[in-house]
A and B are shown apart, each in its own frame.
Chain A
């Protein structure tokens, strides 16, 4: 194995485990709530293995319990996960060098932090390789699956998640990810527009549409604000030839 590949694997495992630690309480919580709502442990595990999208899994099992129409459960899962459309579009420039099957398999593992880490890697000028994507994804996927099963066995042994502060863990984590992008163009106006848009949409339209509508507000602001001129970033004075 070349030192390059070793370095890629180490970087991906480190980042992946950090994500897995932050997501761990939710894996356990999902397993417990799923069993609480009448799913078997095998069904909960299958859901984690095939959907692999925490928020939508929780929404899904909540609805199982209310005996709503199956198509409505599926539609709700789709609505909660709709933001991934924006992720895969934004990822396009970084993954177009991959083969068809490499794209097909790595996109299966596309979750919020996987996307955030890939964008940060690209920002840092490092190549987003198939190996890096898959190792990063696997470092989150298998712990997530294992913790779902653990949660399923624990079941209602877990008390009120609010008492141990689990309910704020995810917002804190996502805020950290948002702050990680603060060097990007028009970051502050985008964040303000998305925050205002999502709060208003939650009030007037409701969940989960506030995610897509709020995101659209921020994206629209980025599209209409003046583009950052590439020439303005270059230092004044004589142009410097590269490689001479």
Chain B
């Protein structure tokens, strides 16, 4: 077992796991403390999926270089037409071909 785990690494992983779990229950615990959710807070919560997931895409689209920007533009247009997995596959093929020809 000694060769499998190192004490300091183990402690960092444990603390990281606890910190992560707290983020996963924190929002729920906080919102349930409120007696009722005002309509504007509800509208705000309703926007959470699009708002957060967008931040995982947009910076890559502008800082990732021309190939990444172009691929994401293609993925966007495809995403309006076809479902998620085919869109993912087609966009992946697109970026590999693009990089093959542009180096």
Contact = CB atoms under 8 A, between A and B. Distances in A.
A226 B9 CA distance: 50
Given A42-B5, A171-B68, A199 B54 contact: no
Interface in A163-205: 163-165, 167-182, 184-187, 190-191, 193-199, 202
A178 B84 CA distance: 10
A218 B29 CA distance: 22
B24 to A, nearest CB: 5
A191 B53 CA distance: 9
Given A51-B13, A70-B11, A219 B51 contact: yes
B49 to A, nearest CB: 5
A107 interface: yes
Nearest to B90: A172
A184 B25 contact: no
Contacts of B52: 83, 86-87, 112, 194, 211, 215, 218
A218 B31 CA distance: 19
Interface string A30-51: 0000000001101100110011
Contact of B55 (A46, A70, A84, A215): A215
Given A178-B54, A194-B50, 13 more contacts: A22-B88, A39-B9, A74-B15, A82-B23, A87-B48, A90-B48, A91-B27, A177-B49, A177-B53, A202-B59, A214-B55, A217-B51, A218-B50
